[in-house]
Structure formats: structure tokens, C-alpha cells
Amino acid sequence: MKGRGIGFGKAILFNEHFVVYGIPSIVSAIGNHTVAKVEQWEEAELKLEDNRKATPKYKEDKLEQQKDSLNRMVKKMNINASKNGLKITLEGNLYCASGIGASAASCVAIARALSDYFDMNLSDDEINDVAYEGEMGYHGTPSGVDNTASTFGGLIWFQKGENNIIEKISMRNPVEIVIGNTGKVADTVAAVAGVRERKEKNPEKYKEIFDRAENITYLARDALQTGDFKEVGKLMNENHKLLQQIGVSSRELDFLVSVARDQGAFGAKLTGGGLGGNMIALTPGKELQEDVANAIEKEGYQTVKTVVGASYGGIE
């Protein structure tokens, strides 16, 4: 008997960090995904074999968080791992790096694979709840945006609150993007804590930045729905500036953002927790996508070429 599950990677287009404070964000699933397989294991233990390709030291740095995450999920699902010997194998074409939802994709994939293995028939909403519990092992207090995109696919408007607001954003056509990897493993917990600390010290300055971030998301949603990618790109550039102002960018991220813009990207910004990890460039059309990816690779960095706005899952 085997169980199998899949979780998609993601790219936050607008408002990482701000989303923690109830400001709306826009996130898209990407085509790259993680696959989890569950099978019986001869020892009475939970064994995890991680075969995903990764940024050097990513998996080592996240190992303790990964164990905590897994324990939280099996507890939430009422699975007695010491009674049922289980082996979980992770693979798939989502490269493990900070900023593209690698941890959320693994949580969603594992939750789906365990649900499949034990014939639980969990709904997408229930899978999302289990994955959020798993994300707490990685991020302390996650916004919930990563696991939501990973579970449901598509382009999503996400606002954290008493009851999270999750709405699908319809786009006429998916649009090409390039994700550039700084090669630095980011500590999201530290990044989130740093923003909180600075926000408490400078409430007025931060209120102004946060108000602008909120305004940007509403403008971006309209531009995405009408296919005005020049406007989307302009707003991405502005969003990056705000993220710099709250102290979550880095020298490498700013460098890759400028390489992408110089090569003609409509807009570029960091994506995810910042302080390393990944940036994202809006590159409508295969030709522009290729040009931007080549320019980033020429500087010695890895890229992922994918699209945002394609629907992979079942949110209506």
C-alpha cells in the first residue's frame, strides 16, 4: 500500500511580510511542485527521505524545523507514527530554496500523501489546515499564504484575519516570470521578527509604508485582471522599494532585481521572506523570459522559468 500527494511551489507577487499584519497579498502557485510518497516501514518509526534538489545547505539548515513540522502534522492528523512504521519520500521538480514555498509544498504534499495512504479523503480545506500546522514548524507564526497557494493553485488574493479571506483572481492568460535564486538560505523567522521589532520602534514611519503597500495590492489586482502587465511591473518595483524600506532585502536580491530590470523585465522584486532566497521578474513572452533568465545565469545564479496565473487546483 502506498500514498501519494503533490504540493505546488509559489511566488508572492505582492506584500510578503505586510501580509502578516492583515494587509492583503497576491500570491500565485507555480508549475513546479513537490511530490510525497508514503509507504510502510519495517521499523516502528517515521522515516523521512528527502530527495529534492536544493540550494547548498538548505536541507541541512532546515532539518530541525522539518522534524518539528512533520511531528506537528502527524499529531494534527491523529497518526501514531511509533505504532505505524512509515517512510515518507520527497521528490519532484520544485528546487528547494528560500522564497518559493518549498516548505509549504512539502507540507501539502505530505498531508495529501498521508491522507491517501490512510484513506482519510481529506478535502482541500482540511489539507490546507494540516499544511498550515506543518508550516508553523518552519516559520513560527506563518501568514498561511504559502500553504494556501500550494494547496489550491492559481492566482490568489489572500488576507490574514480572524477568518482568512481567500479569493481567486482570474487572469485572461497566464504570464511568464523568471525566479532568480541568490543561493543564500534565508531565515524567515528572523526576518519576520526583525520587521516586528523595527515596526514597534518606528510606528509612524511603518504605518505610512504599510498603507502604501495595501494600496498597491488593490491596484495590482485590477491590473492583473485586465492584463495591464506594464502597470503590474511598475507596482512590483514599488513593492520592492517598500520591502527594502522595512529591511528585508539584501545586496544579492537588489543586484538580481537590477539585472532583470536592465534586461527589460516589466518589474522585479524579492519574493518570500527576503534576506536572501529568491527574487521574481515579470517577463511577458517567452523571448523576454529567456533574455532575463540568461542575464541572471550569466552572473552565476540559478533561475526557474515558469508562469503565474495558471490554475492547477480546485479553488472556485
Average of per-residue pLDDT across 135-164: 88
Considering 119, 146, 254, 291, which one is annotated as catalytic? 146
CATH number at 175-308: 3.30.70.890
The CATH architecture to which 2-168 belongs is 2-Layer Sandwich (3.30)
For residues 308 and 216, the model is more confident at: 216
Task: Look at residue 311 in the predicted model and tell me its pLDDT.
Answer: 65
Model-level pTM?
0.81
pLDDT per residue as tens digits for the range 46-58: 999 999 999 888 8
Rounded distance, CA 303 to CA 300, Å?
10
pLDDT at residue 75 is higher than 70: yes
pLDDT at residue 100 greater than cutoff 50: yes
Domain boundaries, the chain: 2-168, 175-308
pLDDT mean over 182-201 = 90
**Residues 186-199, mean pLDDT to the nearest whole number:** 89
Q: What pLDDT, on the 0 to 100 scale, is given for residue 312?
A: 55
DSSP state of 146: H
Residue 83 has pLDDT above 90, yes or no: no
Q: Is 291 annotated as catalytic?
A: no
Q: Name the DSSP class of 186.
A: P
> Cα(300)–Cα(95) distance, rounded to whole angstroms?
17
Q: Any residues with CB less than 8 A from the CB of 119 and at least 6 apart, and which?
A: none
Each residue's pLDDT tens digit, 199-236? 999 999 999 999 999 999 999 999 999 999 999 999 99
Question: What integer best gives the mean pLDDT of the chain?
Answer: 92
**More confident of the two residues 31 and 291:** 291
pLDDT at 315 over 50: no
Q: What is the mean pLDDT of residues 69-98?
A: 90
pLDDT at 229 (0 to 100): 97
The pLDDT of residue 173 is: 86
* Residue spans of alpha helices (H) in the chain: 58-61, 63-76, 102-117, 124-139, 145-152, 188-201, 203-226, 229-245, 251-262, 286-298
Phi–psi pair at 166, nearest 5 degrees: -125, 115
Q: How far is the C-alpha of 25 from the C-alpha of 271, rounded, in Å? A: 12
Q: What is the pLDDT of residue 79?
A: 92
Closest CA relative to residue 151, chosen from 129, 119, 180: 129
pLDDT greater than 80 at residue 314: no
Q: Per residue in 110-129, pLDDT tens?
A: 999 999 999 999 999 999 99
**Could you give the percent of the chain with pLDDT greater than 90?**
73
**Could you tell me the sign of the dihedral formed by the alpha carbons of 268, 12, 156, 197, in that order?**
negative
Give CA–CA dist 30/25, Å, rounded: 16
pLDDT at 30 over 60: yes
Q: Are 155 and 308 in contact (CB under 8 A)?
A: yes
* Residue found by looking up cell 490512510 in the block: 118
- For residue range 239-248, what is the model confidence (pLDDT) as tens digits? 999 999 999 9
pLDDT at 139: 82
